[in-house]
Structure 1
Amino acid sequence: MVGKSMPVVITTSTMNLSLPSYFILVGVPGLEDVHGWLSLPVSFMYFVTLFATFCVLFIIKTEPNLHQPMYFFLAMLLFSDLVQSNSTIPKMLLIFWFNNREISLEECLAQMFLVHSSSIMGSSVLLAMAFDRYVAVCHPLRYLTILTTPVIIKIGLLVAMRGILFIFPHPFLVKRLPFCQSHTIEHTYCEHIAVAKLSCADISINNIFGLFIVLSVTGVDLAFITVSYTLIVKAVLRLSSREARHKVGSTCVTHVTVILVAYIPALFSFMSQRFGGKNATSTQIILSNLYLIVPPMLNPIIYGIKTKEIQKKVMKILNSQRARTL
């Protein structure tokens, strides 16, 4: 007579369901042998980002002609770019240079929060800049009465609060998950879904919340930006002066370029992380990192090239430095 088999009890200790004290960042999976070469363009672009950003911020601060709403919003955008870059690229370079892949749980959650919150702040600033251009083009006589200093300060506070409140749940959504398998993140930084995919539990809430963020932030911002520029285009077409149309169009093209540079890599990163399968490819990782590296580098350059006041100040600084060396 065969006795009844005893039921197997699976406990949390058996499966080791616990939140790890650290994670391992792979970097770019499949390209570990060429991390040193990858560090060259990354470090160069990071240096350009820091140099160009601090130059533009210094010029905005010291040039009285640039103490205008549009340049205050530009300063906010550059600041959010700095937070995003400095929260990820230094660790990325440590991985490439020294194979320093370990990141503690606290550092990982902090990096996750800073990356995503600064991304939302950047999107919010782009919306504020679109509103600024709408008022400047469609209501030029009321521009300084609408966008007063108190209003700009309130917009800045709303931008910061929006980024913090929307992303505040992210670390807690990760901390609630059990991790019973690998603690190795197939990425160069702690991206929310890349970390959540390591869990052996259902991450539907994480995916749904991420989708909610994209629709309620990026979707809403893009919709209002589109409306703003539709009204701007109509107003520009009504201008009788060809020179005026060119001047307004040039300013708006600069902002539209920055919008495209910011949103296209960010949306690609979101889509590849959620629909790119369990393990990300090297191409997905490289392309998803573009929104951490390229927009922060290009934004100060684009505005520096298109803004005459910034150009004049840069040339003045360069000429003074040249005169000192002679």
Structure 2
Amino acid sequence: MTIPESQPVPSTATSEPLRILITGSAGFVGSHLVERFLNEGHTVIGVDNYISGQVSNTDLFRDHPRFTFIEADVSHGIPYEGEKLDWVMHFASPASPPHYQQFPVETLMVGAQGTQNGLELAHAHGAGFFLASTSEVYGDPHVHPQPETYWGNVNPIGVRSCYDEAKRYAEAITMAYHRSRGVNTRIIRIFNTYGPRMRPDDGRVITNFVHQALRGEPLTVYGDGSQTRSFQYIDDLIEGISRLVMVNYHEPVNLGNPDEFTMLELVKIIDDEVAHTSIRFLDLPKDDPKVRNPDLNLKLSLIGHTDFKSLREGISFTIRNMSKRA
């Protein structure tokens, strides 16, 4: 893979107004994308079937004059018949282990048929196609941190495979449409992201810890707590997405935070915010990665340096937000 020379890139705020269709618009990441693009003056069409999204996220924008919502399962088609689109952004999919393991077939279908339906729509409109993939394509990695050139260590029939393989296929078909049909594509691999608008039952570690702490329950740590993750605040992810729209690069790009923490270090940060927490240790789930951290050299070369919110600051804000919703 040839890495382009470093060149700071503006966000979509500097471009002409765009018409953007976002699948998964009622989800955690999707709703923040809707907000960002509306604030930048673009027109947004949101599509969701609420399998893991929240009606409350759609309600935030329902009365906005440049927002239209379509309730639909994109695996069965995207019923859009409006004006010419500039971008189709595919963010629809259950993304937390409890949700995709509850809906394994639906997760595979939205990664496969949903991605193809989005690509067909983009091709028909001459629009760009932006795929939200995941760091899960790296599986339980043997290379650390993980660069985009690493092919991964994924169990294709394990309990997490419905999500891992759905995203790996989604990347493959996206590149096939780019190479054979000339679709202007972007692919991002999202590393652990957190912040406001996550579902209370999301099931990922920060959401679990915060809600357990606020309820005075022991924090559930799987294994011995030595496994590591890097945690990206939602605003940092949205900034990266907005900038990558403007970059003419078609292969996968990692988006995450380079700072790595063990689960026990994360517990300590949350305990500093919500005092008197305790820990309950459980067995490590099957195929759970021991480490996960992005190599961000490609991202930095494409969009320049972007600030990262510290984990302590992001956790503090997330706790305040979740306290209001509790």
Q: TM-score range by the shorter chain?
A: under 0.3
What TM-score comes out, normalization by structure 1 length? 0.26
Which protein, 1 or 2, shows the higher relative CO under an 8 Å CA cutoff with sep ≥ 6?
Answer: 1
Rg larger in 1 or in 2?
Answer: 1
Compare the two structures and name the one with the higher strand fraction. 2
TM-score of the superposition, structure 2-length normalised?
Answer: 0.26
